[in-house]
Structure formats: structure tokens, C-alpha cells
Structure 1
Amino acid sequence: MRATEYFVHACDPKTLIVRQIMEDAVVTVSPSSSAMVVAELLSEHNFGSVPVTETDGTLRGLVTEFDLLKAVEQGRDLREVSVSEIMTRDVITTTEEMPLMNLIHVLQERHLIRLPVVKDRKLIGMVARRDIVFAYVKARANYWP
């Protein structure tokens, strides 16, 4: 759940930080999961990627639609491919304390759609461009007591 969903007072969106706009209920997969499981998750939930974590929550990578398409293009059967074979390992991440304006800069500079949020190498959330837009709208809204 995003904290911005509970805003009751308008504020300057520039004062927001990642913790306030990130989604903390994140669907993850393990490195040993099949690529088909990821494809099903992405299709079912309308996600563009899913984080890969160890049982203790340590972020190991990210599987994106692009990773799946690449495997399909290579003629691989997603039911027989493990996540660890196709995941992106060098994942750009953010912290929960990053200011909104810095986050926007990273996403634009790197042409990214979403970033995992980590604390001590453990996944604690995901933040996407859509979350920023939602937070901006909520921060600018006029609330009635």
C-alpha cells in the first residue's frame, strides 16, 4: 500500500520521499522459479517486471518483460527456464529516503519505468513512474475536513 493513498492534507510534491509513494506489497519470485511463473504473474497482475529475492528478502535481480521476450525469441520454453538464467542481475535500486525529485531524475536519466526499493540489500518496496504521478495528484488535491 502506498502512504499517499492516506494523504488528508495537500502538500508540496517536491517534499515527498520514496517511502511515501512506494508500493510495499510486492510480489516476488525466487531464483529457482520458472520463467513461466513470471510470465503468468506479469500477465495476471499487469506488471512489467517482478523482483527476484532470496527467502530472507535479499534482492538478487529483476525479471522484466524484455527478459522473457528475449528467452522466447531464442526459442526457449519458459516452462523449462529458471528465473536465475534470464534475470537482470545488475539492478538499479533506490532507498526509501530518496527525495521525489532525485527519483524522477534517475528514472528519466536511465529511461526506467520502475525501481526496487531496498534497505540493507533487502527489498522493501517498488516505486514506478505511475506512483509519482499518483503522489503528485494526491499531494495537490484539495481535501475537505
Structure 2
Amino acid sequence: MRQTEFFMKATDPKTLTVAQLMQDAVIRCTPRTDALTITHMMTHRNIGSLPVVEEDGTLVGIVSEYDLLQAMIDGRDLRKILATEIMSAHPVSVTEEQTLTQIADLFQDRYLTRVPVLRNGKLVGILARRDLLYGYTRASQYWS
């Protein structure tokens, strides 16, 4: 859940941080999760990517719809492919302290849809473009 959902008064949107904007209930998988299970998780929860984390929460990659579609196009059996085989290793990530303006620039410059949020290398949230727009709108209400 986003902290911005609890805003009771207007705030300068430029002061918002990733911690306030991110979703902290993150659906994730492990490097050993098979691609068919990932596909099922993503389609049933209507999400476009899944962070891949070790048991201790360390982010090791991200699997996107693109990765899954590419495996399908290549004729690979999604039941026999592991996340570690199709994930993008070392994905772009952000920290909780970064501001809305910094993140908006990152999203636009890198053509990103969503990014994992890390604290000391551990996954603590996910931030999507939609979260930026939601937070900006909530903070801007009555702001002048």
C-alpha cells in the first residue's frame, strides 16, 4: 500500500519520496521459479513484471512480460525454464529516499514502467509510473 493513500492535506509534490509512493506488498519469485508459474502469477494479478529475489530478499533480477513472450516465440517450454534463465540481471532499481522528480526523470530517460525499491540491497517495494501519477495527484489537491 502507498503512504500517499493516507494523505489528509495537500503537499508539495516535489517533496514526495519513493517511500511514500511505492507499493510495499510486492509479488516476487525466486531464481528457481519456473516460467509457467511466473506467467500464472503475472496474469492473475495483472502485473507486468516480477522481481526475482534470493531467500534473504536480495534482488537478483526481474522477469518481464517481454522476457516471457520472447521465450514463447523461441518455442521454449515455460514449464522447463527457470526465472534465472530469462530474467534481466542487475535491473535498474531505486532507494526509498529518492524524490518524485528524480524518479520521473529516470522513468522517462530509461523508458521504464516500474522499478524495484531497495534498502541495503533487499527488496522492500516496487514503484510504477502509475504510482508517481497517483502520488502527484494526491499531493497536488488544493496545493498552490
Normalised-by-shorter TM-score class: over 0.9
**Structure 1 partner of 2:118:** 118
SS in 2 for 1:63: strand
Tell me how many residue pairs correspond in the alignment: 142
Deviations 1:69-106 (A, max 9, x none): 11001100111111110000020000000011000000
SS in 1 for 2:62: strand
- The offset of 1:141, in angstroms, is 2.2
User: Identity across aligned pairs (percent)?
Assistant: 44
Alignment of 1:1-145 (within 5 A): 1-142=1-142
Distance in 2, Cα, partners of 1:137 & 1:99: 15
Distance in 1, Cα, partners of 2:135 & 2:99: 13
Matched letter for residue 17 of structure 1? T
Normalising by structure 2, report the TM-score. Answer: 0.97
Distance in 2, Cα, partners of 1:90 & 1:125: 16
- The offset of 1:50, in angstroms, is 0.4
Unaligned residue ranges in structure 2 (runs of 5+): none
Moved over 3 A (4+): none
Deviations 1:19-76 (A, max 9, x none): 0000000010000000011101110011010000011100010000000011001100
CA RMSD of aligned residues (A): 0.7
